[in-house]
């Protein structure tokens, strides 16, 4: 089942996991230590993040390490960037209107 990446990052726990593994690859047990939840719940979050290709698994001996997939994060950033430009333009327009109103009061 292919999940939607934006549904995956909508969950605060999954965003926290992404933040953790952005710094260094971690095992599921190491990740679970940072949360007040079960190891199984963390595994479910990791499975969803993996299905969305936001994280990658790497086997090292008997351990599985999860790390951030920077390529997929760049795709999200690129999508968000278009909206950032729109909002920046609107804020600039608002600044101009407010400055005009302020100057008219003087």
User: CA-to-CA distance for 41 and 54, rounded, in angstroms?
Assistant: 17
Do 41 and 10 have their domain in common?
Answer: yes
Structural domain that includes position 90: 70-106
Residue 39 shares a structural domain with residue 79: no
Q: What is the pTM of this model?
A: 0.75
Same domain, 74 and 58: no
**Per-state percent for the chain, helix, strand, coil, to nearest 5:** 70, 10, 20
Based on the fold, state whether residues 11 and 46 are members of the same structural domain.
Answer: yes
- Distance from first CA to last CA of the chain, Å, rounded? 62
Other residues' Cβ atoms within 10 Å of the Cβ of residue 71: 10
Note the pLDDT tens digit of each residue in 13-66.
999 999 999 999 999 999 999 999 999 999 999 999 999 999 999 999 999 999
Whether residues 36 and 64 share a domain: the answer is yes
pLDDT recorded at residue 1: 56
**What is the total count of domains within the chain?**
2
Based on the fold, state whether residues 40 and 23 are members of the same structural domain: yes
Residues 40 and 77 in one domain: no
């Amino acid at each position: 089942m292919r999940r939607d990446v934006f549904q995956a990052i909508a969950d605060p726990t999954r965003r926290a996991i992404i933040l953790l593994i952005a710094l260094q690859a971690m095992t599921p047990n190491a990740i679970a230590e940072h949360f007040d939840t079960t190891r199984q719940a963390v595994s479910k979050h990791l499975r969803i993040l993996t299905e969305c290709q936001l994280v990658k698994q790497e086997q090292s001996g008997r351990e599985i390490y999860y790390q951030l997939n920077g390529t997929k994060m760049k795709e999200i950033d690129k999508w968000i960037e278009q909206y950032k430009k729109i909002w920046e333009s609107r804020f600039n327009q608002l600044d101009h209107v407010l400055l005009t109103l302020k100057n008219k009061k003087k």
